[in-house]
Amino acid sequence: MSLDAHRRATESLIAFWADSGVDALYGDEPFDRLAEGAQRLQVKARPPEPTPLKSAQARAASPDIADALAAARHLAAAAGTLDELAAVIAGFEACPLRYDGARQAVFSRGPHAASLMVIGEAPGAEEDSQGIPFVGRAGKLLDRMLAAAGLTDRAFITNTVFWRPPGNRTPTASEQAVCAPFVERAIALVQPRVLLLAGAASAKALLRREDGILSIRGRWFEWRSEDGDMELPAMPTLHPAFLLRQPAAKKKAWQDLLTLTERLDRPGRPH
Minimum CB separation from ligand URA for residue 136, in Å? 6
CA 160 to chain CA centroid, Å, is 6
* 176 is a contact residue toward ligand URA (CB under 6 A): no
21 or 192: whose CB is closer to ligand URA? Answer: 21
Write the DSSP assignment of the chain as a string of letters.
--HHHHHHHHHHHHHHHHHTT------SS---HHHHHHHHTTPPPPPPPPPPHHHHHHHHHPPPHHHHHHHHHHHHHH--SHHHHHHHHHH----GGGGTT--S----BS-SS-SEEEEES---HHHHHHTSSS-SHHHHHHHHHHHHTT-GGGEEEEES-SSPPGGGPPPPHHHHHHHHHHHHHHHHHH--SEEEEESHHHHHHHHT----HHHHTT--EEEE-TTS--EEEEEEE--HHHHHH-GGGHHHHHHHHHHHHHHHTSSSS--
* 134 is a contact residue toward ligand URA (CB under 6 A): yes
Minimum CB separation from ligand URA for residue 159, in Å? 5
115 or 160: whose CB is closer to ligand URA? Answer: 160
127 or 175: whose CB is closer to ligand URA? Answer: 127
Which residue's C-beta sits nearest to ligand URA?
A: 120
Q: Which of residues 144-173 bind ligand URA (CB under 6 A)?
A: 159
Minimum CB separation from ligand URA for residue 91, in Å? 20
* 138 is a contact residue toward ligand URA (CB under 6 A): yes
Minimum CB separation from ligand URA for residue 105, in Å? 12
* 96 is a contact residue toward ligand URA (CB under 6 A): no
* 122 is a contact residue toward ligand URA (CB under 6 A): yes
128 or 184: whose CB is closer to ligand URA? Answer: 128
Torsion of CA 257, 263, 264, 266, to 10 degrees: 140
Given candidates 96, 110, 139, 171, which one binds ligand URA under the rule CB under 6 A?
A: 139
Given candidates 124, 181, 192, 236, which one binds ligand URA under the rule CB under 6 A?
A: 124
- The amino acid occupying position 71 is A
Q: Which of residues 32-71 bind ligand URA (CB under 6 A)?
A: none
Minimum CB separation from ligand URA for residue 86, in Å? 15
Interface positions with ligand URA (CB under 6 A): 120-124, 127, 133-134, 136, 138-139, 159, 241
